[in-house]
Amino acid sequence: MQEVANLDTGDAIAHVVEFDKSGKSVAVGCSDGEIKFVNVERNEVTSQIKAHEGSVSDLVFNQDNSTIYSVGGDGIVKVWR
């Protein structure tokens, strides 16, 4: 095994990662409540959203990658499209 990518999340701690169904993008849920979307091939953050007041504790993409569900330390489940 060898490392193929490395993402610096800054001062936030990465709590959860979820690959989309294509394997080309990953969502990273962080301690600061942000979700960062990363292009795996370019190792580049393509977008980010402030999702929760607390940390992001779980992420799930739906089958066609059109929706992602997030769970936060604020006790809220959110749906993103």
CA distance 75 to 66: 23
Q: What was the pLDDT predicted at 70? A: 98
Q: What was the pLDDT predicted at 44? A: 92
Q: What was the pLDDT predicted at 3? A: 83
Task: Name 40's Cβ contacts closer than 8 Å, sequence gap at least 6.
Answer: 5, 19, 23, 24, 25, 26
Q: What was the pLDDT predicted at 5? A: 77
CB 14 within 8 A of CB 27: no
pLDDT digits (tens, 9 = 90+) for 34-81: 999 999 999 999 999 999 999 999 999 999 999 999 999 999 999 999
Q: What's this model's pTM, rounded to 2 decimal places?
A: 0.92
What DSSP letter does each residue of 40-66 carry, written as one string? TTTTEEEEEEE--SS-EEEEEE-TTSS
Q: What was the pLDDT predicted at 37? A: 96
Q: Which domains does the chain have, with CATH numbers?
A: 14-80 (2.40.10.480)
